[in-house]
Structure 1
Amino acid sequence: MAAALCALAKDQGAILTHSEKSWASITFAGARHRVEMEFVGEEAVDAGECFIAFLPEHEFAIPGQLVADADIAEVDHVLDPPRMVVTCEILLLEDG
């Protein structure tokens, strides 16, 4: 999943933190992930803005996993110097 997030961020974002919590329903099992990514510099912040816009609808291709939900939880943006920290939450379900 980390590689897929970095690719969506056009390799302009760095993962600062990643936590995972098991999740299950009657029919599905998986994990809820919380990922904090940092974008530093003008070009990276622009890529971060695109990341924010595209994450919720992005079609991930993660072997053995299905992305059931992907949302932006928090954004911290500083103008000078350009820096943005994006926190996203992703629900991954076991496929199969």
Structure 2
Amino acid sequence: MQADLVHQTVRPRILPSPRPRGPWVRLLSQVLALAGPLADFLRHAERPWASATFAGARHALALHFSGEAAMAAGEEFIAALPDHEFALAGHVVADATVAAIEHRLSPPSLTVEVELLLLEDCGR
């Protein structure tokens, strides 16, 4: 006896194209570069923001600096952030502020929470 052969059409599984990375990835990368190698990333949150003329998102980030050298780097980051020019194609950082700072003496550490308002650049 000959076994019946079942032919099955195999269709390749088409995976959805990966979602494009949002501007938050580039923003986070630039914030971490500004903070330096001694900064530890703790968290990031994003929430939509809009006004009558602009759209974008508000980003909250927390960084931790552990040790005296890292604390000095954290203080430099705090001083540099408000005036830093971010390079984000299609977006502009309209506001960058330090929302909270927590110093600890033992062991020496510094936790910094920042907020950034990232707007879509209408002039692109």
Match of 2:40 in 1: 14
- Percent sequence identity is 51
Moved beyond 2 Å, runs of 4+: none
Match of 1:25 in 2: 51
Greater Rg, structure 1 or structure 2? 2
Q: Which structure 2 residue ranges, 5 or more long, are not aligned?
A: 1-26
Count, aligned residues = 96
- Equivalent in the alignment of 1:2: 28
| TM norm structure 2 | 0.74
Paired AA for residue 38 in structure 2: Q
Q: Is 1:86 aligned with 2:112?
A: yes
Query: Taking structure 1 as the reference length, what is the TM-score of the superposition?
Result: 0.94
Distance in 1 (alpha carbons) for counterparts of 2:49 and 2:40: 26
Letter in 2 for 1:49: E
Q: Which one-letter code corresponds to 1:11 in the other structure? A: P
Matched residue SS, 1:8: helix
* Structure 2 equivalent of residue 58 of structure 1: 84
Counterpart-to-counterpart distance in 1, 2:105 and 2:41: 20
Q: For structure 1, list consecutive stretches of 5 or more residues without a partner in the other structure.
A: none
Q: Which SS does the other structure have where 2:85 is aligned?
A: coil
- State the Cα RMSD in Å: 1.0
Higher relative contact order (CA 8 A, sep 6+): 1
